[in-house]
Amino acid sequence: MNALLIYVVSGITIGATYALIGSGFVVVHRVTHVVNFTQGTLAVFGGLISYSLLSFSIPHGLAEVLAVLLTGLIGLVFAFVTIGKRGTPPLTALLITLGLSILSEGIFVTIWGQAPIAPEGLGGATVLLGASIENQRLLTAGISAIAFILLGIFFGRTYLGKGMTAAASNPRAAALVGIDSRRMGFIAFAIAGMLGGLAGVVTAPFSPISFSSDLPLALGGFAAAVFGGLSSPWLTVVGGLVLGISGQLVAGYFGGSYQTVAALVMLLVVMIARHKSLSAEEAK
Amino acid sequence: MNPSMKRAIPTAVVALIAILIPLFLNDKTVYVQTVLSAVVVVGLSLFMGYAGQASLGQGAFVAVGALTVAVSTVSFNVPPLIALIAAPVTSAGLAYVLGLPLLRLRGHYLAFGTLAVLLLVGALMGGVPILGGGAGIVGIPSLGIGSLVVTGQLFFAYLALAVLAVTMVVSRNVISSRFGRGVRAVAGSESAAASSGVPVLRTKLAVFALAGGCAGLVGGITAFFIPYVSAESFPPSMSFTYVIMAVIGGLGTLWGGVVGAVVVSVLVQALNTISNIPGTPPIVGLILQYAAYAIILILFLLYMPRGLWPTVGDAVKRRLAKRVKRSQTDYSDQHA
């Protein structure tokens, strides 16, 4: 029972990471129809930048917030490269973001080297229902929840957020009422950058991050986003949690090496099971 | 000289140069790998360009081909030649079976689906003992029939070249056949193709299997060439490189795949040479490779989205057409 609880809680925190990265995919895809392959890369940026800022003895809190803002900026730079030129088809844009993630790996190796890095996080552990859980994991779950609530408020209540939804659902009608859908695309990339960066910042202290962490993170996030058809943030959260918890259960009861296999199989099964609704928009 | 012979001249010249190059190389590893990756890229270009689909996991089929050879020769003592023939068959078969559910996906989903397959193959190779486990498979015998065994890099250079030639001839014939017209129709518009009676899924499956077979054969040859197969032999970056080669060369053109493979390989080699100059810190080489790769890919996608071969080919054609036109006007001026 004790072990089960630990698996579930750590599954929730990993799931929250996937959900954060996945909602980055969703935000960009809704507005621009581009799948942003750099979503995992941005998380790596977040973790590594926060590590560097902390090592410059910038206080906790400020360093993490700065790291998230900087990844938002990096997301914006990626947006200029990816969708700055008009008329780039979505699949070409996917390959451009693939190029950006390869380029970023070079940057990671140059600045931070190849060894995995864990920035200092919240130390200690809390005993919860008889199971000891690291505080950083609890913090991750809490901050992710706050991020999702803020995201919901942004899209549902603010003018800018509604404009982005409008640009997503009907670019032409949105343009008629004066919404610049290209600008909305840039903002979406920046938000996705911050979401990815946040995922990296909060999880790096308990799961060290390196230049090669981008691919597993991107795949996990994409798998979560596929639950919501790359367009529903709430289903992405559900997807992330299902993925995270089941992954931890598989790892706990069958061994860690099966965790990747389970996640990949789940990604494939969900995509194939939902192929009719997923591919409706991709069909020409 | 008739026109078809005239058109064959450049091909013959390229073939001759390709045959001569390995004679002047001391270490032919890069040559063999370049030609072999051209084979994979021609197959991938067929799938991406003609069938209009993206695969980020083509390395999976290379890995399966290599595994077929490694496992069958080392664990089951299958004769090397039979193992080599089995490699493309296994990969093509696997591509067909995986394609049945996978090719219902389109666009981004298919790209990630194929990537997931690649990582699954990698995970299986790392975890299952008979597939190499963590240590990989060593002791793959030399290629040959009975006691007649071939070794030496020159043999592999020409074997790779022959395979490339066969792949290109087969692909060209496939594209210009009735089936090939169906393939191109699917790339244009699936619903239009379907309404004209093209069996869309079956067509895509056939191209996927063909591309998988090309990759499998390359994997099989690589297993004999390197004699070592492990989970780390086929990283995702290799599959991304195939896509980069296909895009830079020009999707949906046979020669584009070859041009892309050669250009990217030469580029990587040049960067390697620069970074190996004494006095350069090792990290610089790593950066040169990552950065140059990525920047070239991005610039190509943005400013030459059709790729080198079609863009340069069209420019040359336009130039020639202009010259012909000018000489015609000169002629009419004189006789006016």
CATH architecture designation of domain A2-117+134-279: Orthogonal Bundle (1.10)
Q: Where are the domains of chain A?
A: 2-117+134-279
Q: pLDDT at residue A130 above 70?
A: no
Domain assignment of residue B36, yes or no: yes
Domain assignment of residue B293, yes or no: no
- A28 touching chain B per CB within 8 A: no
Q: What is the pLDDT of residues A75-103, one digit of tens each?
A: 999 999 998 887 778 778 888 998 899 89
Average pLDDT of span A19-38: 90
pTM higher than 0.90, yes or no?
Answer: no
Query: Looking at the partner chain, which of A219, A261, A275 has a beta carbon nearest the beta carbon of B105?
Result: A275
Q: Do A264 and B287 touch (CB under 8 A)?
A: no
CA distances from B230 to A64, B67, B123, B128 (A): 40, 9, 11, 11
The two three-digit tokens of residue A60, written as one number: 């906790």
Q: Give the alpha-carbon dihedral of B299, B304, B306, B308, to 10 degrees.
A: -90
Interface of A with B in 63-102 (CB under 8 A): 81, 85, 88, 90-92, 94-96, 98-100, 102
Structural domain count, chain B: 1
Residue A199 pLDDT class (50, 70, 90 cuts): very high
Q: Give the alpha-carbon dihedral of B80, B86, B87, B93, to 10 degrees.
A: -170
Q: What is the pLDDT of residue B3?
A: 67
Q: What is the pLDDT of residues A11-20, one digit of tens each?
A: 888 899 999 9
Smallest CA–CA distance, residue A111 to chain B, in Å, is 10
Q: What is the pLDDT of residues A233-282, one digit of tens each?
A: 888 999 999 988 988 888 888 876 677 788 888 888 888 888 777 655 54
Using CA coordinates, name the residue in chain A closest to B134: A257
> pLDDT by residue for chain B (336 residues), tens digit each?
566 677 778 788 888 888 878 877 777 888 888 999 999 999 998 888 776 678 888 999 999 999 999 999 888 888 888 889 999 999 999 999 999 988 888 778 888 899 999 989 988 888 777 787 777 787 788 777 766 677 778 888 889 999 999 999 998 888 888 888 887 787 777 788 888 778 888 888 988 999 999 999 999 999 988 888 888 888 888 898 898 888 888 887 888 889 999 988 888 888 777 777 777 676 676 677 678 778 888 888 888 888 888 888 888 888 888 877 777 666 555 554
B contact test, residue of A103, A108, A257, A265 with most B CBs within 10 A: A103
CB B28 within 8 A of CB B154: yes
State the residue range of the domain holding B121.
Answer: 28-235
Q: What is the pLDDT of residue A283?
A: 43
The CA distance from B160 to B84, in Å, is: 13
3-state SS assignment for residue A265 = helix
Q: What is the pLDDT of residue A284?
A: 39
3-state SS assignment for residue A126 = strand
Q: What is the pLDDT of residue A43?
A: 94
Average pLDDT of span A219-225: 90
Domain assignment of residue B66, yes or no: yes
Query: Looking at the partner chain, which of A96, A105, A106 has a beta carbon nearest the beta carbon of B301?
Result: A96
ipTM: 0.85
Q: What is the pLDDT of residue B333?
A: 56
Domain assignment of residue B322, yes or no: no
Q: What is the pLDDT of residues A35-52, one digit of tens each?
A: 899 999 999 999 999 999
Q: Do B294 and A102 touch (CB under 8 A)?
A: yes
Phi-psi region of B278 (alpha: psi -120 to 50; beta: other; left: phi over 0): beta
